[in-house]
């Protein structure tokens, strides 16, 4: 009898371990003050206490700004991302060609800087940002785009399944 109980406990524990480790998780963050996407298939989520290179668009992990332009600054250990979408409202906005200046809020453009000190920029119609909610207290949306290395246009990065919620 003891042997049977031990076997049942062992197999139950083993089965529980197997089923819990095979569960699929929703790794894209949602909710207030969230930002996530895939960069070349790798999940990007801003992380706290990031102190990358001084050339990154910023040193904070995630910040939003909204006035006549909607701004996002996000970073983790590998990337710094800067968004500026001018005159935003509900709907889809195509990207403009970036001038590489993360203080230029007059464009709808994206800049990504990497740990390797590479800069990737948006081009005209290289992607879009869709605003699904715009209110005084909240801005939500999705995005997908392709960015080009400023020094080698054959070097691209693809951003997919992007979401933000300020």
Domain segments of the chain as ranges: 30-165
Could you report the per-residue pLDDT of 118-145, keeping only the tens digit for each? 999 999 999 999 999 999 889 999 999 9
pTM value?
0.74
Which tens digits make up the pLDDT trace of 9-52? 333 333 333 333 333 344 554 557 899 999 999 999 997 543 44
Residue 91 makes CB contacts below 8 A (sequence gap 6+) with: 130, 131
Nearest Cα to Cα of residue 141 among 105, 97, 88: 88
């Amino acid at each position: 009898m003891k042997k049977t109980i031990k076997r049942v406990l062992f197999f139950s524990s083993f089965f529980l371990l197997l089923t819990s480790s095979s569960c699929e998780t929703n790794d894209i963050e949602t909710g207030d003050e969230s930002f996530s996407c895939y960069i070349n298939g790798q999940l990007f989520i801003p992380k706290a206490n990031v102190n990358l290179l001084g050339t990154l668009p910023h040193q904070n992990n995630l910040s939003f700004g909204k006035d006549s332009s909607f701004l996002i600054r996000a970073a983790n250990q590998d990337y710094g991302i800067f968004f500026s979408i001018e005159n935003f409202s509900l709907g889809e906005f195509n990207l403009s060609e970036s001038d590489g200046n993360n203080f230029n809020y007059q464009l709808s453009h994206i800049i990504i800087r990497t740990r390797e000190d590479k800069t990737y920029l948006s081009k005209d119609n290289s992607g879009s940002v869709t605003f699904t909610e715009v209110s005084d207290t909240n801005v939500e949306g999705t995005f997908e785009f392709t960015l080009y290395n400023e020094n080698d246009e054959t070097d691209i990065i693809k951003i997919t399944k992007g979401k933000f919620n300020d």
